Amino acid sequence: MKKFVNEVENILTESLTGFGKAHSDIIDVRLSPDFVFRKNKSQNDKVALISGGGSGHEPLHGGFVGYGMLDAACPGQVFSAPTPDQMEAAANEVHKNKGILFIVKNYSGDIMNFEMGADMIEHENQTIIVNDDVAVEDSTFTTGRRGVAGTMIVEKTVGSLAETGASLEDCKIFGDHVNKMTASMGVAFTSCTVPAAGKPTFELSNDEMEFGVGIHGEPGRRREKIKSANQLTNEILETILEDLKPDNNQEVLLHVNGFGGTPLMELYLLFECGQKLLEKKNIKVSRSLVGNYTTSLEMAGGSFTVTKLDADIAKHWDSAVHTPALRWKM
């Protein structure tokens, strides 16, 4: 295992401490229980957004704490759900008198622990379950579809709505709507190595890929020989479009996400392939995001996410945001 590490058991604590120091103008970090929260809280009452999940997907979720997105994020150990006391502590720290909205990726451990955390707090709360991965149903850690890179889009748009003072119910309804308008799918060229395991999660030959892989290294639809970027783009986007069923001339957000070990040069190449394919299908890419936003440690590979845009989703995607990993118009 080749990683920057001192003691494996301290990797999360040291990483969170460094993260807090590097972005001390935006966020604070609490340890035992661990959570990241906004340094400059809203002066007005607002719904407080809290997300979280296993570490190893950075910048998801802690990198999206700040104005226009999350109020707090609860990081579990690598690829392990956070514990209920983390959600309780985060909620008590960031609530602003309009309730707590949890945004949770659809993994069994995350859902169970967030549900327990919600039961432990006195504040009114609701939950959005993100399940944008169209690759498979009922995967290793999931009943139903997995939550992957579309989670960031839900966090951005609902975070924007919450800044306007919208009610808990309105934020919940809007988040569920964005989730339904979003679909993702990815492919891996290599595995990742969980530090505590010390070896790759799975093995791939030099000419193989995992088509439809999950962000924890879960099996996808199939394992097969590597194909060209155009072929992969076509297969992935056809699957996504079959799910979303966009109208003619539909405007979309196209997000190309890296899993941590793929150069930006290749991710922009994928975006070019995707934009050209969508254009041929009379689908207009009017918003875009390319980069490593929902990673899987050092896995080589990436994913496409498409969100069908309406006026409200576009407005809240475009609005000001200031977080460690996503910022514009500030």
To the query of whether residue 57 is one of the catalytic residues in this protein, the response is: yes
- For the stretch 205-225, pLDDT in tens is 999 999 999 999 888 889 999
- Residue of 23, 61, 216, 255 with catalytic role: 216
Confidence of residue 173 (pLDDT cuts 50, 70, 90): very high
Q: What are phi and psi of 134, to 5 degrees?
A: -90, 5
List the catalytic residue out of 23, 57, 95, 255.
57
pLDDT higher than 80, residue 189: yes
Confidence of residue 137 (pLDDT cuts 50, 70, 90): confident
Residue 42, pLDDT score: 87
Q: What is the mean pLDDT of residues 304-313?
A: 98
The answer to whether residue 216 is catalytic is yes
What pLDDT score was predicted for residue 143? 77
Q: At residue 138, does pLDDT exceed 80?
A: no
Mean pLDDT of 96-108: 96
Paired residues of 224 in beta bridges: 209
65 contacts 26 by C-beta, under 8 angstroms: yes
What is the C-alpha separation between 35 and 206, in angstroms, rounded? 39
Question: Which domains are assigned to the chain?
Answer: 8-181 (3.40.50.10440), 184-318 (3.30.1180.20)
Instruction: Determine whether 37 is exposed, middle or buried from the number of CB atoms within 10 Å of its CB (0-12, 13-18, 19+).
Output: buried
Residue 65 CB neighbour total at 10 angstroms: 31
Long-range contacts of 22-25 (CB under 8 A, 24+ apart): 22/324, 23/324
Instruction: Identify residue 93 by its one-letter amino acid code.
Output: E
And the tokens for 186?
Answer: 């990815």
Answer yes or no: is pLDDT of 188 > 90.
yes
Looking at every residue in the chain, the average pLDDT score rounds to: 96
Rounded to 5°, angle at Cα 104 from 222 and 114: 120
| Predicted confidence (pLDDT) at residue 142 exceeds the cutoff of 90 | no
